[in-house]
Amino acid sequence: MSLNIIVLAKQVPDTRNVGKDAMKEDGTINRAALPAIFNPEDLNALEQALRLKETHPGSTVTLLTMGLPRAAEIVREAIYRGADKGIVLTDRALGGADTLATSYSLAQAVRKHGNYDLILGGRQAIDGDTAQVGPQIAEKLALPQVTYAEDILEVADGKVKVLRRLEHGVETVVAPLPCVITVNGTAAECRPRNAKRVMKYKRAASPSEVAKLPENVAAAVAANPELQIQEWGAAYVEADPQQIGLAGSPTKVKAIENVVFTAKESLCLGNNDEQIENLIKDLIANHTIG
Amino acid sequence: MADNNNLIVYCEFDEGKIADVSLELLTKGRVLANRLGVKLEALVIGDKLDGVEDQIFPYGADTVYKVADPKLFPYTSNPHAAVLIKLFKEINPQICLMGATCIGRDLGPRVSSCLHSGLTADCTALEIGDHTDPKTGKEYHDLLYQIRPAFGGNIVATIVNPECRPQMATVREGVMKKEVYDANHKGEVINLDAAKYTDPADYAVEIIDRHIEKSKVNIKNASIIVAGGYGVGSKENFQLLFDLADTLGAEVGASRAAVDAGFIEHDRQIGQTGVTVRPKLYIACGISGQIQHIAGMQESSIIISINNDPNAPINTIADYVITGDMEEIVPKLIKYYKKNSK
């Protein structure tokens, strides 16, 4: 049985490697100093999809991302690694969305796409760490959800068997298709780019990108549907303006603060045997250790 | 069920016990409910719930809703979500708190999506306060301030849900303190019929196998923690920290950067996306001190920072700062401990 798989992914600032220049003096984020990357756990989800494509010939893997037009970069990355095609859901009206408005927008895009057996995504994105969008999309599409997946063991007879990795153990569950599965970072790492696919798809571009290309290159993209990354807007996915963007977000950010910790008066020691021994003696004397 | 507008805590229940995180939330919930002048309610869904209220009442709950059915344990998403959704439509809680556990983070979003109520994940503080909408000027009183680190823990955001109810938030285990409110406190038990709150179709996902693995790591309750960061440099160097921990009778912890780099397993991660700890001694080795890490260990009684960089942010909250190479200093700590301890 061939499968139609939609992989949800997000282009995120690399918050794991925040250098000293990533925060401005006023405590706001210097986004320009942070590279935009493929959200790590979404890559784990992509790998699960690509494995299913191998075991179920004729399957299609479609990457769906919501973000700025430049998110076409991660669609291309997914295609290099083995995805068949991709869609960027992008629209100014979608900006400022919280998880609920985001999941509504993505659910609308999934509806527009139609024809899906499995919707996969990373457990959470490293810029928000909420893990909310997956289950919320499942609810909006009235689908079952399997979160914290570590391995998709089998798809057969209209059901999927999944190994879940939880804080206190593992669970194997069987869910009917279609369903939403969110994948942990403990799952298999995503395969690297395939050199042949990079050659074949390096010109893949979204309409926003095509507009900036030289005419002859743009014509080459126009002539080959395989190179066309789709770009969908809020109206195209028939999103209710009241449910998207800032207006559709029940949560509001009241304040953002730079974190200030109460500084203590520290005793500074060097790499000096006598000082280190005295410290140990003090800690033993006051029963902190020993 | 005329009571409305209260604060409700979804309590996790396994192996005959209410989860610690749920008791921590009841403790916090009682404080918030007192501030708001409303009742503190608890909801337990599962199987074999006889007498479970006795574990909950001492934490100050006024009402315990119980939904018992063999099919409701172990937890699956849809049946539990269905109970919350239907019950919340009846009792309209103003606030719902749940643990930021695998269960709470699976359940919360599903419920919030259906009720179109805002949900804030992994809050580190919850307060009650007022809010004025910056655009409309409309004033809101006594909202739940949901305070959480954002952007990888580099900033702290205060989130409010002005219009939608319930205001939902998850909190990780260990972030709030668990404290008995009154050992003799008693409230009302309300048993709900599982069949009325769930639909057979909700049970579509089937658990066919379940293994509980008791974590070998117990950093949450350790009184001494030796923690390593990215600056430790390698998996091999982490062995030095294990040596020091063995010598001191400590547990080994790590920062997110060290875990992400593959130096050490995830269940040792301390900080906003890991465990919150309050040991009597915290030895930070090669940890620069990203906010999300400091948030998870700043309440340690004594903090020693060992770092090459004298300006590492963690040094500002440390009691002792040892500037130098951790590969040289850690063996010295071991050596002088062995020499001076009896």
How close A115 comes to chain B (CA, Å)? 21
Q: Minimal Cα distance from B75: which residue of A?
A: A171
How close A57 comes to chain B (CA, Å)? 26
Residues 122-181 of A with CB under 8 A from B: 126-136, 138-140, 144-148, 161, 166-176, 179
H helix or E strand, kind and range, residue B320: strand B320-323
pLDDT band with cut points at 50, 70 and 90 for residue B174: confident
Q: Is residue A283 part of a domain?
A: no
In a mutational test of the B interface, the residue from A23, A26, A166 whose CB has the highest number of chain B CBs within 10 Å is A166
User: CA–CA separation, B272 vs A19, rounded Å?
Assistant: 18
Q: Is residue A201 part of a domain?
A: yes
Query: Any chain B CB within 8 A of the CB of A273?
Result: yes
CATH number at A29 reads 3.40.50.620
Q: Is residue A285 part of a domain?
A: no
Cβ contact (<8 Å) for B110 and A136?
yes
In the DSSP assignment, the letter for residue A190 is P
Rg (CA), chain A: 23
Chain segment B235-254, per-residue pLDDT in tens: 999 999 999 999 999 999 99
Q: What is the dihedral of CA A249, A251, A253, A254, to 10 degrees?
A: 130
Q: What does DSSP say about strands B167-171 and B119-123: parallel, antiparallel, or unpaired?
A: parallel
Least CB-CB distance to B152: which of A18, A161, A166? A18
Region for B15 from its dihedrals, namely left if φ exceeds 0, alpha if ψ lies in -120 to 50, beta otherwise: left
Question: Looking at the DSSP assignment, which residues form a beta bridge with residue B97?
Answer: B9, B169
Cβ contact (<8 Å) for B212 and A169?
yes
The predicted structure's pLDDT at residue A60: 98
Percent of the residues in chain B that have a pLDDT greater than 90, as a whole number: 84
How close A133 comes to chain B (CA, Å)? 7
Find the domain containing A121 and state its range: 4-243
The stretch B208-226 carries a mean pLDDT of 87
Q: Is residue A279 part of a domain?
A: no
Tally the domains of chain A: 1
Q: Is residue A60 part of a domain?
A: yes
Would you give per-residue pLDDT tens digits along chain A (290 residues)? 899 999 999 999 887 666 556 666 555 566 667 789 999 999 999 999 999 999 999 999 999 999 999 999 999 999 999 999 999 999 999 999 999 999 999 999 999 999 999 999 999 998 888 999 999 999 999 999 999 999 999 999 999 999 999 988 899 999 999 999 999 998 999 999 999 999 999 999 999 999 999 999 999 999 999 999 999 999 999 999 999 999 999 999 999 887 666 777 888 988 889 999 999 999 999 889 87
How close A34 comes to chain B (CA, Å)? 11
pTM of the entire predicted model: 0.88
> Which residue from B152, B99, B157 is spatially nearest to B292, judged by alpha carbons?
B152
Least CB-CB distance to A267: which of B152, B153, B319? B319
**Please, what are the domains in chain B?**
7-203 (3.40.50.620), 224-340 (3.40.50.1220)
> Which residue from A180, A123, A109, A98 is spatially nearest to B77, judged by alpha carbons?
A180
Q: Give the ranges where B290-325 is alpha helix by DSSP (H).
A: 291-294
Rg (CA), chain B: 22
Q: Is residue A273 part of a domain?
A: no
The predicted structure's pLDDT at residue A82: 98
User: CA–CA separation, B227 vs B276, rounded Å?
Assistant: 13
Q: What is the dihedral of CA B251, B256, B258, B261, to 10 degrees?
A: 140
Q: Is residue A11 part of a domain?
A: yes
Cβ contact (<8 Å) for A145 and B117?
no
- Please tell me the least confidently modeled range out of B15-19, B198-202, B292-296: B292-296
Q: Is residue A266 part of a domain?
A: no
How close B68 comes to chain A (CA, Å)? 22
Q: Does the pLDDT value for residue B1 go beyond 50?
A: no
In a mutational test of the B interface, the residue from A17, A43, A100 whose CB has the highest number of chain B CBs within 10 Å is A100
The stretch B43-63 carries a mean pLDDT of 97
User: CA–CA separation, B17 vs B19, rounded Å?
Assistant: 6
H helix or E strand, kind and range, residue A176: strand A169-176
- Please tell me the least confidently modeled range out of B151-155, B182-186, B191-195, B217-221: B151-155
Query: Any chain B CB within 8 A of the CB of A283?
Result: yes
The predicted structure's pLDDT at residue B342: 72
Cβ contact (<8 Å) for A16 and B152?
yes
Q: Minimal Cα distance from B300: which residue of A?
A: A288
Chain segment B259-271, per-residue pLDDT in tens: 989 999 888 999 8
Cβ contact (<8 Å) for A173 and B325?
no
Cβ contact (<8 Å) for A135 and B113?
yes
> Which residue from B321, B310, B246 is spatially nearest to A275, judged by alpha carbons?
B321
Q: At residue A168, what is the residue type? A: H
Report chain B's mean pLDDT, rounded to a whole number. 94
Q: State both tokens at B213.
A: 């693995």
Q: Does the pLDDT value for residue B57 go beyond 80?
A: yes
Least CB-CB distance to B208: which of A99, A174, A257? A174
Cβ contact (<8 Å) for A290 and B341?
yes
